Structures are given as structure tokens and as C-alpha cells.
Amino acid sequence: MATAIAHPNIALVKYWGKQSGSGNLPATPSVSITVAGLTTTTRVVAADRDSLRIDGQVRRDSKVNALFDAMQDAFELPPISIETRNDFPTGAGLASSASGFAALVTAIDGEFDLGLTPQERSAWSRRGSASAARSIFGGFATLASGDGTWTATELLAKDAWPLEVVIAVTAETPKPVSSSEGMERSRTTSPFYDAWCRSTEADFETACRAVAERDFGSLSEVAEHSCLKLHALMLSSRPALLYWNQATIKAIETVRRLREAGTPVFYTIDAGPQVKAVCAPGQGGGVAAVLARSPGVLRVARGGLGDGARIADDTRRRD
């Protein structure tokens, strides 16, 4: 039996849209931070037949099945029983699929002694969910193409620039349209899709430079731009993808007001209504206290930058 833990990551330059063909390859490069404080724990054990439990409920998941079938073929694995738990809402825009697939691949690697490198675990995770490729790494990570292949890498270690994250939870319910379905809808129906793909390369370069230079102002500007551009793309899809609620907009206003008053903070939002405030080191407490009082915010979660996916039991740790 092997147990792995992984944290979600929050994209600062977003991935939305896939290339045609197999392998779940993104159409655009992305930059993210891995966030401690939210954790997926996944236990894998060889069994008589495949089974999956998420937060105690028996589930069937076509993405998990497809990934596991591919790994079974590649490594001649027996059936497995998977038990996974999130200490945060599943499928509500908190990147549970990212931490989920990163933890699953890491646990399979541990259980069957596959000896995969972090890059290999990342590539397998990407096949389950592209954002999961980034959760194999801690701190700041990228998912980009180089030499014709798409790989995730660590851009900067978490301790090199210990940004803090405050998540304003505005709804605990699962999102109405999954990311995979939503991005396919945007690709096939939005008149903005080509512009999104063309312009994201420059955002990616800007964000990588901002991280390398620890330039919070530049990172704030490009991250909010990428976020709003993503949601403009979603809104221009048919039928429109509207993931926000009223509390989402209020929380955006709250973050803007905080920044105008001098707090180094910016917001980003994924395929869900939660607002993630990213702030300079030492600012998390103050930002959390203000966001907790923003109208409609149910609760806030706080975290620093986290480590990449790993085996929970240190004796079986591989990276």
C-alpha cells in the first residue's frame, strides 16, 4: 500500500484549450503556484478488481479509468483500489483534479516501485488532467512545450519567493460545467479563441520574467489580465460559461480596494466562483481578515506555497 499527498496549484497564466489528438496536450503554456494548506491524500493498493472512492463515496470516473488503463498497459500493473480524500470541496474550482491526478500517479509509482522521475510522473499526470502536471512540482511551476514535447518544470523554489495565498470560498457546490467540457466549448464556439491562444505566449514570457525577477507588480498585472481574458473567453462561448456569482465580483472589488490602499495583492479565478488572492510575503493575515468580511464569502482558506506531490511515508519517498 502506498499513500501520496499533493496540493492543488493555481494558474497565474491560465491553460484553457487543448491541441487536437491524443495525450491531453494544452494549446497554450501556463504558469502556476502550488499551494500548501489544501491537500489531497490518495492511497493505492493492489486488489482483485479496480475501484475508486473519493471522499468516502464509490465513484466511476472515465478520466481515472483511462489513465489507469494506460498505466496498466505500460507497466503491466494488476487491478488497484484507490481511496482519495480532499480536505477541501471537490470539483468547485479549487483544482481538485490537479492535486488528485498528481497524488494518484505518485501513489501508483510508490505502490509498484516504478521508479518514475518527477518529469515522468508529471507527464502521466498530464494525461489525466493537464493542470495536474504542475502539481508534481512545488513553488512556481510551468507547463510549456520545449523540443516538441510538453513538460512541466519547477520555475522557482517556494522558499525563493514565499508568496502567500488566501482563497475566498463563495460556494461549496460542484461547478456546472467541467473544465474539459468548457474549454472544448470555448475552442469550438468562441470568436475570441484564436486571439486567446496567440496572446498567451507573451503572457507566459512576462510571467516567467516577473517570477525570475521577483517583480510582484508585473506578476500582478499579467496574472489579472490572464484571468480576465480567460473569463472573457468563457463568457463569449456558446452557451456562455459563467462561473462567477455575486460574491465573486464583490471579492474582486475587495482585492482591488486593498491594492489601492497599498497592500501588494492580486486576484485570480479559475473555472469556479472562488477568488484566490495572491499576496506578497507577510500579507496573508491582513488580506484574509478583509476577504473574510467581503459580502457573500463563506470562509477563507490560507496557505503558503507548497511542495510537489510526494509519498506520505518518508521511507518510500522518491523525489
Enumerate binding residues for ligand DP6 (CB under 6 A): 11, 14-16, 24, 30, 95, 97, 129-131, 179-180, 270-271
Closest separation between CB of residue 14 and ligand DP6, Å? 4
Closest separation between CB of residue 48 and ligand DP6, Å? 29
Closest separation between CB of residue 83 and ligand DP6, Å? 21
**Could you write out the DSSP letters of every residue in 9-28?**
EEEEE----B-SSSS--BSS
Q: Measured between alpha carbons, how far is 274 from 56 in angstroms, rounded to an integer? A: 24
Q: Measured between alpha carbons, how far is 61 from 105 in angstroms, rounded to an integer? A: 15
Asked if 10 contacts 38 with a C-beta cutoff of 8 angstroms, the reply is: no
| 258 versus 278: smaller Cβ distance to ligand DP6 | 278
| 203 versus 270: smaller Cβ distance to ligand DP6 | 270
In a 3-state reduction of DSSP, which class is residue 66? Answer: helix
Closest separation between CB of residue 50 and ligand DP6, Å? 20
Asked if 32 contacts 134 with a C-beta cutoff of 8 angstroms, the reply is: yes
In a 3-state reduction of DSSP, which class is residue 304? Answer: strand
Where in the chain does DSSP place strands (E)? 2-6, 9-13, 30-34, 40-46, 51-54, 57-58, 80-86, 140-146, 149-156, 164-169, 265-268, 275-279, 299-304, 310-311
Closest separation between CB of residue 130 and ligand DP6, Å? 4
Closest separation between CB of residue 18 and ligand DP6, Å? 7
| 24 versus 294: smaller Cβ distance to ligand DP6 | 24
| 46 versus 66: smaller Cβ distance to ligand DP6 | 66
Closest separation between CB of residue 57 and ligand DP6, Å? 20
| 145 versus 313: smaller Cβ distance to ligand DP6 | 145
| 96 versus 294: smaller Cβ distance to ligand DP6 | 96
Edge-to-edge strand ranges of the sheet holding 2-6: 57-58, 51-54, 80-86, 40-46, 2-6, 310-311
Q: Measured between alpha carbons, how far is 66 from 74 in angstroms, rounded to an integer? A: 12
| 111 versus 175: smaller Cβ distance to ligand DP6 | 175
